[in-house]
Amino acid sequence: MGNKLDESILQSFMEISPYLSSLLDEEISFALTDREKFIAFLPRENIKPDIKVGGFIKEGSSTYEALRLEKVVSKIVPENVFGFKLKSIAVPLKNERGNIVGVVSIGKSLEKQEHILNLSKNLSIALNQIASAITELSEGVQNTASSNEIILKEAKDASEKTENTDEILSFIKNIEKQTNLLGLNASIEAARAGEFGKGFSVVASEIRKLSNSSNESITKINKVIKEIRISVEKILDRIKIVNETSHNQAAALEEITASLQQVNTTAEKLEQISSKY
């Protein structure tokens, strides 16, 4: 009775073995043993362990360890055996009395998982490099924005100082007018003095020349200052635009960095999940 039941358990697994790959939705090899040898084996195209029906269980294999330890045993077969990593899972089969009657084992290729794991690692590394580059770029933009703030302040100060020159020019122009008036009065007095005022007439003429020269200089200075003021105002406008752009770029880079961090976290989780299979 016991032997028939044991055989029935093994027979049941033999009957379902062709459907396991479809049920698990994976390419797997299947093997079934009694306590000594293999009684069924279903290889796959790229998973072909050195197993033959009727062959004895090899010492040290996952099937052997499952029999010896009387528990589920999982092993990773290194890449040098099949050209890719393979996960072997062996489950001891027990009858109603708790005695082991055989072992069912499957071999599952880890090639896809390894590929996903490598992609995840490469993605994580690439994202970290991009994040570092963007962080560095963001710091550069922020430094540029800070420098622009300083330049903007200095340009505003320069603009204010050019406005202060109006008072100086007004003061000089007033002196020029007074000098011109003084020269005119001196000419009148020289004319009144007649022969005795000839020397004074020369002085009066020079004073009026100085006045005219001062007036021309003031006009030129005023023109130059106006041009400087216009240039400073243009510079101010451009710096404001650059400054605003720098702030916008810094904000955008911060958002990109945050998004990359989220993607990187996802990649790390994917890497952790892939490494479990």
- Report how far apart, in Å, the C-alpha atoms of 224 and of each of 89, 171, 183, 212, 229 are: 90, 17, 28, 19, 9
Q: Is the distance from CB of 197 to CB of 191 less than 8 angstroms?
A: yes
Given a cut of 90, whether residue 223 has pLDDT beyond it is no
User: Yes or no: is domain 2-109 CATH 3.30.450.20?
Assistant: yes
| For residue 136, pLDDT beyond 50 | yes
Sorted by where each begins, the domain ranges of the chain are 2-109, 116-275
- pLDDT at residue 166, as a whole number: 67
DSSP letters of 260-275? Answer: HHHHHHHHHHHHHHHH
Q: At 108, which amino acid appears?
A: K
Q: Report pLDDT for 2.
A: 47
Q: Picking from 85-89, 97-101, 253-257, which range would have the lowest pLDDT averaged per residue?
A: 253-257
User: Would you call 212 helix, strand, or coil by DSSP?
Assistant: helix
Q: Within a 13 Å sphere around the CA of 8, how many CA atoms are in the beta-carbon half? A: 7
Q: What are the phi and psi torsion angles at 84 (to 5°)?
A: -155, 160
The fold adopted by the segment(s) 116-275 is Helix Hairpins (1.10.287)
Q: Looking at the DSSP assignment, which residues form a beta bridge with residue 40?
A: 32
Residue 93, phi then psi, degrees to nearest 5: -105, 130
In which element (H, E) is residue 74 found? strand 73-77
pLDDT at residue 29 tops 50: yes
Q: How confident is the model at residue 86 (pLDDT cuts 50, 70, 90)?
A: confident
* Amino acid in the structure at residue 19: Y
Does the predicted TM-score (pTM) go above 0.75?
no
Helix 111-193 vs helix 198-275: crossing angle, to nearest 10: 170
